[in-house]
Amino acid sequence: MATGFFWDESCFWHSGGNYALTLPVGEFVQPLAAGGLPESPETKRRLKNLLDVSGLSKELHLSSAAPATREDLERVHPAAYLTQFKNMSDAGGGELGLRTPFGKGGYEAAALSAGLAKEAVLSVLRGTLENAYALSRPPGHHCLPDWPNGFCLMANIAIAIEAAKAEGLAPRVAVIDWDVHHGNGTEAIFLDRDDVLTISLHQARNYPLDTGGIEERGSGDGLGYNINVPLSPGAGHNSYLLAMERIVLPALDRYRPDLIIVASGYDASAFDPLSRTMATMETFRDMTRQVMGAADTWCDGRLVMVHEGGYSEVYVPFCGHAVMEELSGSDIHVPDPMAETLAIRQPDARFDAFVAEQIEELADIFAKPPESG
């Protein structure tokens, strides 16, 4: 079976508002020369371009997908929210939440983005693909049921999970979010459920400012099925791999999922304008290898990656290509043009030891069942 890669040019045409990074242009905030939000189409388009130029695209099952249906969307989002979004989209666009501007057709772009994730998940669960990657845009992991934020307009991964559950295909799903920002939307949607394990590795107190703490372990039936791993600014390659080894993989071993989904953001990279962590192309390659091993152990290799953030137009394509090399088992290899520089810039042994101590403390906490409040 092949590795699937779901994408659609129409998603690249989704547009944001008049922003300078994450600030609306206005008094004292000047427009950027490049213009707009950092969540631009170019990081995604250039990943697809790099796959084409390297030849890796030819080894993948490339496909678009149908947009998520209204029925799909209403399993996660209230009808009133969807209607308001659709009406604003038809009228030319606007902004419904925090840092989620969209132009005319924004509703359709978001439904298509969710549809790519849905089809990737269903194709893997039905056994037509070994594993898959959804190049979803706009992203989704910050979106709450009725309140979009952080560039996310619909909860792509949650929509895909609920579609799979509606077909009886995925009793237990684990979501690993290695986007540098806390996956607050995914967490909120599944917080009181034990049929979805949510794990978020993120830079502490980056975005959102008020979520992502280790104390949030879930509620009700979901108590113990939410894990937050806030990493210190400056955490690099070694810290990410250690967090995966000591916290994420043991959690998967305890949970034994039927499917693993990765919210694959690349904004933890050293060149991202919206983070202060030091992950590299090899970090994402190695984390993919770790997750693939867990998928082989617990769910017959069923693994889906869904694209989230990542705002360096130059470096995101290399990080994504490394993931696709591992996911597909390809012999095609694109070297990291910044490898030598990033090796020198990695945290020194003292800082690595400091973060490692924090990770070990978290590993001890998460290995024990949380106390109900």
What separation in angstroms does the CA of 271 have from each of 21, 42, 139?
A: 15, 15, 20
- The answer to whether the Cα torsion of 152, 153, 159, 160 is positive or negative is negative
Q: Which helix (H) or strand (E) holds 306?
A: strand 303-307
pLDDT tens for the chain, 373 residues long, are: 799 999 999 999 999 878 888 888 988 999 887 667 899 999 999 999 999 999 999 999 999 999 999 999 999 999 999 999 999 999 999 999 999 999 999 999 999 999 999 999 999 999 999 999 999 999 999 999 999 999 999 999 999 999 999 999 999 999 999 999 999 999 999 999 999 999 999 999 999 999 999 999 999 999 999 999 999 999 999 999 999 999 999 999 999 999 999 999 999 999 999 999 999 999 999 999 999 999 999 999 999 999 999 999 999 999 999 999 999 999 999 999 999 999 999 999 999 999 999 999 999 999 999 986 5
Q: What is the pLDDT of residues 220-248, one digit of tens each?
A: 999 999 999 999 999 999 999 999 999 99
Domain 3-15+37-366 is in which class? alpha beta
What separation in angstroms does the CA of 165 have from each of 101, 160, 170, 281, 349?
A: 31, 9, 5, 33, 45
Q: Which helix (H) or strand (E) holds 296?
A: helix 281-298
Q: Which residues pair with 269 in a beta bridge?
A: 279
224 Rama sector, left if φ>0, alpha if ψ -120 to 50, beta otherwise: left
Q: Which residues pair with 3 in a beta bridge?
A: 131
- C-alpha–C-alpha distance, residues 158 and 232, integer Å: 28
Active site residues: 142
Instruction: Please give the model's pTM, rounded to 2 decimal places.
Output: 0.97
- C-alpha–C-alpha distance, residues 236 and 45, integer Å: 26
Q: What is the pLDDT of residues 67-120, one digit of tens each?
A: 999 999 999 999 999 999 999 999 999 999 999 999 999 999 999 999 999 999
